[in-house]
Structure 1
């Protein structure tokens, strides 16, 4: 994974399942940052991109929750 871009949620989820915990956290952070950037005022908000990155962030958070039970 040279870049931090996945065109589909299924590709992102496939990579989540094979990544270690540190990599999943990096993927979650990247998705969160891009979600914030897509919804930033003054930059031309992109609702489709915001939704895409939110789904990726949520998938990464769920993967981390599965790996780190309370």
Structure 2
């Protein structure tokens, strides 16, 4: 007993047209996004007028002398 698979020619053409359309639409949209909002990699610059945007580290913890505690 055999199995027959029927593939419609209009379905194949529709899938090809849809694939090319999505490809070209996505390509143009991606290029437009790069022009309008470029990605910048790296550490952000501090705002103007800020001498140091990072908070100062806490003072080091002073260890009590072992002779005074005994």
Interval of TM-score (by shorter of Structure 1 and Structure 2): 0.3 to 0.5
Higher relative helix content: 1
Query: TM-score normalized by structure 1?
Result: 0.35
Asked which structure has the greater CA Rg, the reply is: 2
